[in-house]
Structure 1
Amino acid sequence: MKEQVLGVDVNTENYDELIPKLFANIDAEKKSLVVAINPEKLMKAKEDPELKALLNRAEFQIPDGVGVIIASKLQKGNIKSRVTGVDTMDRIVREAARCGKSIFLYGAKPGVADAAASKLIETYPDLIVAGTQDGYEQDTQKVIDTINEAKPEILFVAMGSPKQELWIEQHRDNLYPTLYQGVGGTFDVLAGNIKRAPAAFQKVGAEWLYRLLLEPTRIKRQMNLPKFLFEIIRQNK
């Protein structure tokens, strides 16, 4: 099920409801794209019709951000819990290891995808990593050929949003994988290059605050949250 937040579709499922749907699509060979929806992205989409259309064309839009939960509550919606991009990737990888589906990691600086893959295999020994490719290869056809030769069911793309979603949408008809997710900086988190917020911050949906404490220059970006909530209140008067 989905509801709209500022004109963008957002899935209402939690992890336990979402993952079976993703893997059912794999089994049915139905290509699917997972995009993460947060207040910053919604505010950009409000001013950018092309971005809004791109987000709405995805098969799954996960509520990645406490602001989206608050917005749903304010408009009496059904989104009850955050479904973050990094945790969705982890849940997908866990299920892939369980049922024998293979993954491919594409993006980030040279060596990062390899390090992330090693960490995933360390966590999930049964996981099949069909291959990796850094994001610095300039020959797009070579990247496509590398992925297709590996024949993974699942492709994770780490380019930053919306570049990664645009790349997936542009090329997925010519790619072997069935399930696609743009994962931003998640490879760097897995590789240990970027530290994720402590569990206490994650639990209350305050990872944004942790990042702000580490990088005060992010304050301009974080101002999108109060602007976003004001816009939600204004539209629901």
Structure 2
Amino acid sequence: MKFGTGRSAVEVNIPTRAALFHAVRTKFAQGDGFALATLNLDHLTKLPSEATFAEAYRAQDLVVADGRPVVWLSQLAKHPLELMPGSDLVIPMTELAAEMQMPIALMGSSDEALSGAKAALEARVPGVNVVMTHAPAYGFDPSGAAAEEICDMLNESGARLCFIALGAPKQELFAAFARGRCPAVGFASIGAGLDFLSGHQVRAPKIMRALALEWLWRALQSPKRMIPRYAKCFAILPKLTLDAWRQR
């Protein structure tokens, strides 16, 4: 299903969890890299005004639906998508990597968060092989000299899967940049996934997630940052709803 119009349009090309893991398994088996993005309303607010972000999204091989509004819009359009938040994909993708003996790299906001995430993965996934962790310096340019150095580190490490937990648009920009420089590495942009895993951020309780209220939990945790973001998200819903209706 497509969201948006013109050069900022994005197509969610992986509709189900089963399709995603079939695609990733095939990429691993064939020695191919990939870039995975998880589309949510915040991304849809940024895409029309940030040309580099839109270009980076077009470079993603796999795009899934992250966020219930995206899923609801797909149902309205009669092109239903399965909900796949990036943070929910970390453990199952790690399990697949461990099963297929694919080494893993972790990129995130701080060395402490990455150390905690590495320990959590090693405790929960037998056979996981985390060969690299890296927290880029403050002000990291996802297509600059530091990004080039990280690509060299990834190639030298032998990693086949790299979780990027830097937030949008930085993580998608880096994945698009590194995709061609690390042709055997799969890049998965997962937002706060590693911070949740390490305990550096607390995710909404399961009951709030089940009731589609995770946005409220995050707004209460960080109101100055999240309330303006969600206001922009709600503002674009009417147009997205009309676009979805037209795709029926």
TM-score normalised by structure 1 residue count:
0.89
Q: Among all aligned residue pairs of Structure 1 and Structure 2, give the percentage whose two residues are the same amino acid.
A: 23
Q: What is aligned with 1:92?
A: 93
- CA gap 1:12/1:20 in 2 versus in 1, 3 angstroms: closer
d(CA) in 1 for partners of 2:97, 2:27? 13
TM-score normalised by structure 2 residue count:
0.86
2:59 to 43, 51, 57: 57
Deviations 1:101-155 (A, max 9, x none): 1111123212321221111000112111112122229744543332222101111
Aligned to 1:47, the other structure's residue is in SS state coil
Q: What is aligned with 2:143?
A: none
How far does residue 179 in structure 1 lie from its aligned partner after superposition?
1.0
Q: What is aligned with 1:223?
A: 231
Q: Does 1:195 align with 2:202?
A: yes
d(CA) in 2 for partners of 1:233, 1:142? 42
Aligned to 2:195, the other structure's residue is in SS state helix
Aligned to 1:135, the other structure's residue is in SS state coil
Q: Which amino acid aligns with 2:31?
A: E
Q: Does 1:148 align with 2:173?
A: no
Q: Which amino acid aligns with 2:92?
A: R
- CA gap 1:140/1:212 in 2 versus in 1, 3 angstroms: closer
Q: Please tell me whether the aligned partners of residues 113 and 194 of structure 2 are also in contact (alpha carbons under 8 angstroms).
A: yes
- CA gap 1:116/1:4 in 2 versus in 1, 3 angstroms: same
Q: Please tell me whether the aligned partners of residues 104 and 154 of structure 1 are also in contact (alpha carbons under 8 angstroms).
A: yes
- Unpaired runs of 5+ residues, structure 2, are 141-145
d(CA) in 2 for partners of 1:143, 1:46? 29
Q: What is aligned with 1:8?
A: 10
Taking CA–CA contacts closer than 8 Å with sequence separation of 6 or more, which of the two structures ends up with the larger relative contact order? 2
CA RMSD of aligned residues (A): 2.1
1:234 to 235, 239, 242: 242
Aligned to 1:46, the other structure's residue is in SS state coil
Task: Judge which range, 89-98 or 170-179, deviates more.
Answer: 170-179
Q: What is aligned with 1:25?
A: 27
Aligned to 2:202, the other structure's residue is in SS state coil
- Unpaired runs of 5+ residues, structure 1, are none
Q: Please tell me whether the aligned partners of residues 37 and 62 of structure 2 are also in contact (alpha carbons under 8 angstroms).
A: yes
